[in-house]
A and B are shown apart, each in its own frame.
Chain A
């Protein structure tokens, strides 16, 4: 069985600085994989390489066995990979409903259609309302997305990310900047909406990581020093030394 996502000798340099220094990683279908590591380890860069935001310097990335080299973000998205952002990245001036509807358009086959009216498609409206229901924003449906509370915007961002039906979902610090109750809420939400999909996430909150992930990779200075189940990673002495010890104590 081919892995959902596979990285092979992946490297990325900005000028002379090597940020990702040879990452080999296989993420199986349906896995919930968390990537953790200290600040500046290259977690976000890794995300940006996988989603086509930056081109890699060396190595290969394969999505369901297909090479992603040279592909633009929109092409990678059409192949079934979707992502959220560390800093909330929505369409602030458009309504909550429209935010979600826009993310359904391509996957529902509308492409660059200019001869049918979005308001007339029952399937589109119902699909959008279904997503809004899942992320519990039905009551906020007609508000501009920019006026939502922070936690609501994060929920919307997750809704936009999953709406297109991608089977590989990448979340970049989905709970960053949230209170405890908000975090619990978002973790539940992520668990439900990514049911049956491959989930890859970067996260700092160890409670979230150990609560959601069934596989963990530890990225330190652009290299993966350990991959395994939460228990195995927690017990790994290398990880203890490099990172997790402090993080766990702090937690």
Chain B
């Protein structure tokens, strides 16, 4: 026993590794390059709209994860800070004299400060306790401010919201932001700046203590840190970046309504962040990308997109609490052993079959929905590029068969996958 406690002299400590002095720059450079060239790959206007929405959601999700993942604070009302930042920016757009003096790319600073200001006020009392108390206060404040939007019409514009025109700002090196693509690069620049700043924040003393307070607030207090103030500062910082996201929304859409700050919106960002995974910095980025794709692309295909998203969310919470990032990082040990390739075929067999089963099940849901909700006499529906009569028996038999066969194969091949998984994670020569 005592032997284990002493330093192993054959293995000199890898000093300076955990406390490495440089930030790993490569992923950041790659991400920046990708963001730069994306509009040349997806040139359609609709694609750029989706990418703008995606970038805004990424900033918002990263800001949200400063609370949830890094600070251990579950907020049910974080859309409020983004929304208020956005509303403030639309008001600035409408202040002709002032707005014509500032270049549009600086506007998010004001949105951020507004979100931060509100977070300072709310955080002053909501961060005293973490856990349920914090969650309840965040929900209450969220509802309160959403209710204010129909009461304080001068600021929130009532039910129709308020709108502005981004092009009245001072031209920025001749750019007036008339084109979607110009707005894209503005948002992309803010995405890179915000993500880098939020990452750097997590490496500062305060950012590290946010983790410590999340894991064990009592211990942190006995190390000289007030858990409450650590939470407060994280909350305020998160409010700033949420405000930036709101400002970018205002710039992109030029309109803000109650929908931007209500509890539905707060719930959606929680969902996107959790789906991506709260345990890793890049988790919320994945979550925001997937969520935006579902919200934009899938919603064009089916009215039931939110239903499917809900199922995916529940499955994530129950079986993959690490989210997408957690699922990816699960493969790191196998990769280190150089045995990742062994998972390929079993993955295709099980997950491929499972995916077919899911498509079959989705078909059944869609057909049931069509049967119940299509206008009278409308019996023909199109699914997976096939048009058929939803009142005849054949499509139902096919869908049921596909579902059963798909899930059946997935279930049959699951033990082989588990076997392959164990194999890929065991070093060669080690006893099994």
Contacts and interface: CB of A to CB of B under 8 A. Distances in A.
B201 A114 contact: yes
A89 B19 CA distance: 23
A77 B204 contact: no
A105 B1 contact: no
Interface string A132-149: 110011110110000001
B212 A91 contact: yes
B224 A164 contact: yes
Given A77-B221, A89-B219, A142-B18, A119 B205 contact: no
A93 B72 CA distance: 13
A83 interface: yes
A116 B15 contact: no
B14 interface: yes
Interface stretch (B178-186, B225-233, B253-261, B420-428): B225-233
A73 B222 contact: yes
A118 B19 contact: yes
Contact of B221 (A72, A105, A129): A72
A139 B17 contact: no
Nearest to B3: A181
A151 interface: yes
Contacts of A128: 19
A132 B6 CA distance: 11
Contacts of A107: 224
B394 to A, nearest CB: 54
A243 B237 CA distance: 55
B226 A118 contact: no
Interface stretch (A94-102, A221-229, A231-239): A94-102
B278 to A, nearest CB: 12
Contacts of B224: 74, 77-78, 105-107, 164
A90 B233 CA distance: 23
Contacts of B230: 112
Contacts of B11: 139
A114 B13 contact: no
A127 to B, nearest CB: 11
A119 B21 contact: yes
B392 interface: no
B4 interface: yes
Contacts of B19: 97, 101, 118-119, 124-125, 128
Contacts of B233: 112, 114
A14 interface: no
A155 to B, nearest CB: 7
A196 to B, nearest CB: 21
Interface residues of A, number: 57
Contacts of B216: 89-92
B226 A105 contact: no
B246 interface: no
A184 to B, nearest CB: 8
Contacts of A124: 19
B223 A101 contact: no
A175 interface: no
Contact of A117 (B14, B200, B211): B200
Given A74-B226, A98-B18, A112-B206, A92 B2 contact: no
A93 B215 contact: yes
A161 to B, nearest CB: 8
Nearest to A149: B4
**Which of A93, A137, A139, A179 has its CB near the most chain B CB atoms (within 10 A)?**
A139
A155 B221 CA distance: 20
B215 A155 contact: no
Nearest to B279: A93
A181 B204 contact: no
Given A119-B21, A185-B5, A139 B13 contact: yes
Given A91-B212, A92-B215, A93-B215, A119 B221 contact: no
A103 interface: yes
B1 A179 contact: yes
Interface string A174-216: 0000010110010000000000000000000000000000000
Contacts of B200: 117
A113 B1 contact: no
B203 A117 contact: yes
A103 B223 contact: yes
Contacts of B16: 125
A135 B202 CA distance: 27
A90 B18 CA distance: 18
A181 B223 CA distance: 29
A120 interface: yes
A114 B237 contact: yes
Interface string B7-28: 1100101111111110000000
A210 B428 CA distance: 51
A223 B105 CA distance: 69
A119 B20 contact: yes
B355 interface: no
A51 B19 CA distance: 31
A82 interface: yes
B67 interface: no
Interface of A: 51, 72-74, 77-78, 82-83, 85, 89-95, 97-98, 101-103, 105-107, 110-120, 124-125, 128-129, 132-133, 136-139, 141-142, 149, 151-152, 155, 160, 164, 179, 181-182, 185
9 contacts: A74-B222, A78-B224, A89-B216, A107-B224, A115-B204, A118-B19, A125-B16, A138-B7, A139-B7
Given A113-B204, A185-B5, 11 more contacts: A73-B218, A102-B212, A113-B205, A115-B204, A120-B21, A137-B5, A142-B14, A160-B219, A181-B1, A182-B1, A185-B1
CB-based closest 9 A-B pairs: A106-B224, A110-B205, A125-B19, A73-B221, A114-B206, A138-B13, A91-B215, A77-B224, A113-B205
